[in-house]
Chains A and B, each alone.
Chain A
Amino acid sequence: MTDKSLESSTLGSLQYDPAPELAAIARLRPSYGLFIDGRFTDPSTHEQFASLNPATEETLAMVSSANAADVDRAVAAARKAYDTVWSKTTGAERAKYLFRIARLILERSRELAVVETLDNGKPIRESRDIDIPLAAAHFFYYAGWADKLDHAGFGVSPQPIGVAGQIIPWNFPLLMAAWKLAPALAAGNTCVLKPAETTPLTALVLAEILQQAELPDGVVNILTGDGVAGAALVDHPGVNKIAFTGSTEVGRLIQQRTAASNKRLTLELGGKGANIVFDDAPIDEMIEGIIDGIFFNQGHVCCAGSRLLVQESVADEVLRRLVRRVEQLRVGDPMDKNTDVGAINSAAQLARIKELTDYGMSEGATRYTSSCVLPDKGYWFAPTVFADVTQSHRIAREEIFGPVLSVLTFRTPEEAVAKANNTNYGLACGVWSEKGSRTLWVAQRLRAGVIWANTYNRFDPSSPFGGMRESGFGREGGRHGLEAYLNV
């Protein structure tokens, strides 16, 4: 039995036959209106745009393009609902609706997972096992808070803010809608939600769910559209609060435009998270954690561990194992249940990833790219690792927002902390070590809103999430997440 050679052993080489989820489960309508005051309505200009499947470039459905007049209608509906219904609804009663929404999300979870994967390009395994269950969990969690706000640590009888304008990104469309809506509704606000231009569909299914749950008209309004709708929402004088998740560039604009107004603001922006690996890290789980940190959701994750800081003495061994594991990732049809890495969400994002990775090579970093075969149609980028990266490389400083990891080394814990903090961002970091005292020492010195120890990219509704510096401010999730929607 020793005549077999290890050379011939290839991880994951057993062929798995395609195991596609059924696209028909999505039950998509050919066209969707704007969800205002409890009804789907035509946009005032009757303009529509196509939402594409990024894995095939085919049109999934036509959605409506909201303009300033539509925003005005939606804000008016939210104001009326706030004044006449929602602000007079008790916490226990609001909880009832939130529980109902949570249960309906679970009941329709398979449909939502398929819609999410078709519209976003993420693997069905992730939308099925992570996005949708977590979205429901957020509604369940904040349902529990709705009648206990007196005990949330913000004084007796904290009051809602009013009408919240919420603008969400394309990387976790339904989950981000849940992160925004659940605490806002629990605290007693009404909402105007604008999903991202390239991923509007699960929010529209959610609108159907809100109807099913018999949420009073106007409490949640959902406007699809582009930056025009977003800007109109940010500028609208009837909006009391803006919550934005997206790029630092747009976040900066929003902060400028809301500066002279009475609007409250929370921003959850970009990141350049560092995964710090010490020589005593649990090596197999650490490799999995690095993989999860950067290739989860094609790296379209604001808190992605896009920088790997590895102790010099184990750098070669870690890189060897990492490259072997990258080669094993199954890249392709997002609807296949065995796919690990799906499609890039849009042509524009793909162009940005290519620009930065080309730059990385021109700056002399060593590139390892998975030899996976990419489909002909759609937007794809093979999982990539850059070694020999230094702090001054562009790929170590700018957010790539794609399946691209930059590997740097350090010698001492002090150097690891200095390098991890040497960024404009401050969203998330990971520390990998079996030595608890060192993990705590490092975690106390990292400038980031979220620190994971011996894991990465773990989310729970009870845990606050958010950044510092150019990664934004405000917290979502947990008791802390209520503060963004209470007048405290």
Chain B
Amino acid sequence: MSTAPLRLVTPEDRGVIISDSNQLARIESEAQLSAILIALSGVDAVGAEARVAKLATRSIKKSTKSAALNLAISMVDLTTLEGADTFGRVTSLCTKAMRPDANDDSVPPVAAVCVYPDLVGHARSVLGDSPVKVAAVATAFPSGRASMRVKLLDVADAVDAGADEIDMVIDRGAFLSGRLGQVFDEIVAVKEACGSAHLKVILETGELVTYDNVRRASWLAMLGGADFIKTSTGKLPVAATTPVALVMLEAVRDFAESSGRLVGVKVAGGIRTAKDAIRYLVIVNETAGSTWLTPDLFRFGASSLLNDLLRQRLKQQRGAYVRSDEFSGD
């Protein structure tokens, strides 16, 4: 965090922060943070849902579809977050991440594999110097219910083992009860513990419930230094939804305009089909814009999505669907 002074510009900017150095300004107090978040424009739920429903009617065909499928593959954080995860499973996942279709090396590698901290070292060794990143969920994922000391140790563990990216969870209880400063401080501390690793902040939007909360939590995370804001842990029945993604994409767009800093968005949980993925890409394209159409700024946290993307990709080439056994299960 820089020490550039915070400067509120004109009221129409709705509490947006800018600074001369294109760095984030320091939040000096909880009251100030709260004022900024409350000044954000509300979200009209009916309108937001109508907007994504309209965008869902976009018809993506032919070469656009092929390009979108390849792009989506390159944006996947191939994920396994099970208590029963094994070294063997992670090996298989990493192999697949580097070469998603064993029969076709024109398929781009995925963006990252996403695992629990204790499996980071193993993933790192399998991936070697491939471009695929290792992402680790940390900070007492998925509930976030642990002391700050434990959370920071969790992060440090993962970073020491070679994680390139840390997916942290916010304390939803603190956020919902209005202890915004506490949530902010945790994000700042975790960001510091990350060192050079990128920080993804999981908002767990299924627990925030309202779109107004999603918008405020997005700004809070970005002000705290998030490199990415992420919808969900994937451990709740309500995970990523298109209107939530819309609100988060509006937030990163507006934040970039006011601060000059580009923050990514990761949608996670429940995205299983290529059709879903393409719908998200359309929303990215028409909300945040083309700059975000890169794995540096947009990700899908998913496991079964990859195989459907591969299947649809072959369908585009061959004109017919292939058997699901064409691709490895993990």
Interface residues of chain A, those whose CB is within 8 Å of chain B, are 1-2, 4-6, 8-19, 125, 129, 279-286, 288-289, 313-314, 316-317, 328, 337-338, 434, 454-455
Contact = CB atoms under 8 A, between A and B. Distances in A.
Interface of A: prevailing SS: loop
B179 interface: no
Contacts of A285: 43-44, 46-48, 51
Interface stretch (B87-95, B141-149, B181-189, B280-288): B280-288
A288 B13 CA distance: 19
B58 A281 contact: no
B44 A282 contact: yes
B59 A284 contact: no
A314 B296 CA distance: 33
Given A11-B285, A328-B286, A455 B46 contact: yes
Contacts of B294: 4
Contacts of B291: 4-6, 8-9
A1 B264 contact: yes
B25 interface: no
| Nearest 10 A/B pairs, CB to CB | A285-B47, A9-B291, A9-B289, A19-B59, A282-B44, A285-B44, A337-B59, A283-B41, A14-B285, A13-B290
Contacts of B174: none
Given A4-B296, A13-B289, A125-B57, A279 B12 contact: yes
Interface string B246-259: 00001001001100
A11 B287 contact: yes
Contacts of A328: 286
B12 A316 contact: yes
B285 A13 contact: yes
Contacts of B83: none
Contact of B12 (A9, A18, A313, A454): A313
Residue among A17, A18, A129, A313 with max Cβ neighbours from chain B (10 Å): A17
Nearest to B40: A283
Interface in B288-328: 288-294, 296-297
B11 interface: yes
A1 B44 contact: no
B42 interface: yes
A284 B48 contact: yes
B61 to A, nearest CB: 5
B260 interface: yes
B227 A1 contact: yes
B237 to A, nearest CB: 27
A342 B44 CA distance: 28
B286 A16 contact: no
B31 interface: no
Contacts, number: 117
A480 to B, nearest CB: 24
B64 A9 contact: no
Interface in B225-265: 227, 250, 253, 256-257, 260-262, 264
11 contacts: A1-B262, A11-B286, A14-B68, A17-B60, A17-B62, A282-B44, A286-B44, A337-B59, A454-B46, A455-B44, A455-B47
Nearest to A13: B290
A2 B51 contact: no
B243 to A, nearest CB: 11
Nearest to B251: A284
A487 to B, nearest CB: 39
A6 to B, nearest CB: 5
Contacts of A289: 47
Contacts of B68: 14
A14 B281 contact: yes
Nearest to B293: A14
Contact of A454 (B14, B47, B227, B264): B47
Interface string B7-20: 00001111000000
Given A13-B290, A14-B281, A455-B47, A6 B63 contact: no
Contacts of A317: 12-13
A379 B64 CA distance: 28
A17 B57 CA distance: 14
Nearest to A456: B47
A19 B41 contact: no
Most chain A CB inside 10 Å of its own CB: which residue of B264, B282, B290: B290
Nearest to A336: B59
Contact of A10 (B57, B282, B289): B289
Given A11-B287, A13-B289, A454-B44, 19 more contacts: A2-B261, A4-B297, A6-B257, A6-B260, A9-B253, A9-B256, A9-B288, A9-B292, A12-B289, A14-B281, A281-B41, A282-B42, A282-B44, A283-B14, A284-B48, A285-B43, A286-B47, A289-B47, A314-B11
Interface string B91-107: 00000000000000000
A214 B35 CA distance: 66
A16 B227 CA distance: 29
Nearest to A284: B250
A300 B278 CA distance: 32
B51 A288 contact: yes
B64 A14 contact: yes
Contacts of B60: 16-17, 19
A16 B12 CA distance: 34
Nearest to A16: B64
A446 to B, nearest CB: 20
